[in-house]
Structure 1
Amino acid sequence: MNAHPSSPAHMGIRQWLMLAVLAVVWGASFFSIEIAVTELPPLTIVSVRVGLAALVLYTYMLVTRVRLPFSGRADWRTVVFAIMLMGVFNNIIPSGLIVWGQTHITSSLASILNATMPLFTVFMAHFFTQDEPLTPGRLVGVLVGFSGVVFIVGPYALQGLLSGVAGQLAVLGAAFSYAIAVVIGRRFVRLGLAPVQMAFGQALAAAVIVTPAALVIDQPYLLPLPSWQVVVALVSLATISTAFAYLLYFRLIAEAGATHASLVTLMIPVVASALGISFLGEVFEPTHGIGLLLIGFGLLLIDGRLTKRRKLRAADVPPQGR
């Protein structure tokens, strides 16, 4: 398998539909978390999420007769190590930080801050990969995007709302962890793992690590039984927003490339905000909207779409004679 497959210049209708479905699925995850944190502690939510997702993905592998990611491989130690790293940086750390963060901030704001992940990825890719340098256009995009983050977080910090700032920083930490996972995930490409093997492996690794911690720290067995609303939220979070979402995401990367797939972060905050405003009575502040626009504009600059269109338009202008 090619370690750096080329991605198409444009997405077709199939890829745009996949992107839209993924945005709705991941946008809804912030809504589900907002419900779950009302009755359950963060580690318990993460443990149930990744554990049930691993079970669903394993069942899918049995039905489709896909082997375990480390089965029958001479390099199984390398595979296990890569899977463990992905489980930590792509599941445990970001999920735990987002869930904890949403105990202090709304789902709308959490989804917006989560959209900064590609901004961190630009720097990570520059220093830890050889084919994604930090170009001037990308640097401007990072600065514009981070100005959106500052616009969102700044007013709360100036007002001294420490708990709110802590929640926002937690979600930003989750976005940074996702960026680390993107770089680590390149190992999966070289190892030739199928999307379902990648999704199952990281979910299983996360469950093995976080479940004992949840049992010791949260002691969920001493908590009262959750309401049916929380149970539905957890099942939705694990099956749809984790198992199904990762299958769809890795397939989208394979068909459209990582750059196009990352555009889902532009759409997730819109979905999460709409759900929070419609069902949770949340208020979407004007500062959040301005910050989101700045982040979106920064991501477009990073993607290079705006500069590409400029160059094409300039190329179409005929030279002026004297």
Structure 2
Amino acid sequence: MTIRSTSNLHMTSTEWALLLFLSVLWGAGYLFGQIALAELSPFAIAFSRVALATMALLAVGLFAGQTFRLSWKVGALYLALGALGVLVPSILMLWSQVRIGAGLTSLLGATSPLFTVVIAHFLTRGEKMTPLRLGGMAVALVGVAIATRPVADGAGESILAELAVLAAAFCQAYAAVLARRCDASSPLELATGQLAGASLLSLPILLVVEGPRMLSRLSVETVLALLALALLTTALGYLIFFRLLVRAGATNVALISLLVPVTALFLAAVVLGEELSWSVFAGAVLILAGLVTFGAR
């Protein structure tokens, strides 16, 4: 798998088109998750989406003749990527959605690029922090404070939910930087390895928390939401994500968070009927402005 030199990481028109499409897939993921939460716990949803997505990608890989290399070192890396990039963020965000809604969860998740630029500064050579990016981070953090103020004035559990989403964003950012150091032969191998790692880690958690009763109460609506989460948001989404990652770099790809909240907020309001206050919109404007600023060249 060819990775561009860190001194020549930029977005072509094709990569911008893929980024836009990915924002729709991941923005809709908040909607699918909210539907599934009516009958399933965050643990059950997290396992179902990664297990189904792993099986789908393995089938694609076998059909395409993809070779999946495995060693103790590679296996450990995939477990780390699965935990940080998929499992932990999924559980934290789904747990938070129950308490603060899909719209605000997606908005706080947009802070992932802020963490990415800091982590990449210390762990990579070609993606360094600049005064412009620091200024953008400051503006975005003010936006987070404004967007979360109505919820912060409420119960302590809501504040914990906000912090949980920020922790999830940090985990995703670290995993994105870490993934660029993985010597995989293709985005398909990398995506399959990460999701397989997440599946292995989530299975024992699911058995302890849920047990066999998980599948006894699923409606058609929930099953369809899980399939959409697994096949579209997760399997197809991570294939596109890793394709972009190896071509454009962690910091550029992290700008997906510019677009995902727009999709998620729109779907949450139109489909789920969530009420969005003026402070959420004001915070969204500042967060997006901050991300545009630190993403500028």
TM-score bin (small chain): over 0.9
Kindly tell me: are residues 86 and 10 of structure 1, through their superposed partners in 2, closer, same or farther at Cα, counting changes over 3 Å?
A: closer
Moved more, 227-236 or 295-304: 295-304
**Which residue is equivalent to 1:79?**
74
The aligned length equals 296
Check the 8 A contact 2:47/2:203 in 1, yes or no.
Answer: yes
Letter in 1 for 2:136: G
Check the 8 A contact 2:133/2:293 in 1, yes or no.
Answer: yes
**Which residue is equivalent to 1:11?**
12
Letter in 1 for 2:12: M
Quote the Cα distance in structure 1 between the aligned partners of 2:96 and 2:106: 11
Within 5 Å, give how 1:83-162 maps onto structure 2. Answer: 83-157=78-152, 159-162=153-156
Letter in 2 for 1:36: A
Within 5 Å, give how 1:89-238 maps onto structure 2. Answer: 89-157=84-152, 159-188=153-182, 191-221=183-213, 224-238=216-230
Check the 8 A contact 1:7/1:257 in 2, yes or no.
Answer: no
1:223 is displaced (CA, Å) by 6.3
1:213 is displaced (CA, Å) by 1.0
1:262 is displaced (CA, Å) by 2.3
**Which residue is equivalent to 1:313?**
none
Structure 1 or 2, whichever has the larger Rg, is: 1
1:7 is displaced (CA, Å) by 4.2
Identity, in percent, stands at: 36
Quote the Cα distance in structure 2 between the aligned partners of 1:231 and 1:6: 45
Letter in 2 for 1:178: Q
Quote the Cα distance in structure 2 between the aligned partners of 1:103 and 1:77: 38
1:62 paired with 2:58, answer no
Give the root-mean-square deviation of aligned CA atoms.
1.8
Kindly tell me: are residues 278 and 7 of structure 1, through their superposed partners in 2, closer, same or farther at Cα, counting changes over 3 Å?
A: farther
Quote the Cα distance in structure 2 between the aligned partners of 1:258 and 1:171: 20
**Which residue is equivalent to 2:234?**
242
Quote the Cα distance in structure 1 between the aligned partners of 2:127 and 2:253: 16
Q: Deviations 1:90-132 (Å, cap 9, x if unpaired)? A: 0111011011111111111111111000011122122333333
**Which residue is equivalent to 2:47?**
47
1:46 is displaced (CA, Å) by 0.5
Kindly tell me: are residues 254 and 3 of structure 1, through their superposed partners in 2, closer, same or farther at Cα, counting changes over 3 Å?
A: closer
**TM score, norm. by length of structure 2:** 0.94
1:2 is displaced (CA, Å) by 5.3
Ranges in structure 1 where 5+ consecutive residues have no aligned partner: 71-75, 306-322
1:226 is displaced (CA, Å) by 1.0
Q: Deviations 1:232-274 (Å, cap 9, x if unpaired)? A: 0000000000000011112223444444332221111111111
Moved more, 61-70 or 230-239: 61-70
1:277 pairs, out of 252, 269, 272, with 269
Check the 8 A contact 2:100/2:151 in 1, yes or no.
Answer: no
**Which residue is equivalent to 1:290?**
282
**Which residue is equivalent to 2:22?**
22
1:61 is displaced (CA, Å) by 0.2
Letter in 2 for 1:202: Q
Letter in 1 for 2:285: L
SS at match of 2:160: helix
Kindly tell me: are residues 50 and 167 of structure 1, through their superposed partners in 2, closer, same or farther at Cα, counting changes over 3 Å?
A: same
Q: Deviations 1:171-207 (Å, cap 9, x if unpaired)? A: 111101111112221221xx24310001000111111
Check the 8 A contact 1:146/1:295 in 2, yes or no.
Answer: yes
Check the 8 A contact 2:4/2:247 in 1, yes or no.
Answer: no
Check the 8 A contact 1:44/1:220 in 2, yes or no.
Answer: no
Q: Deviations 1:270-307 (Å, cap 9, x if unpaired)? A: 111111111111112111111111111111121124xx
**Which residue is equivalent to 2:32?**
32
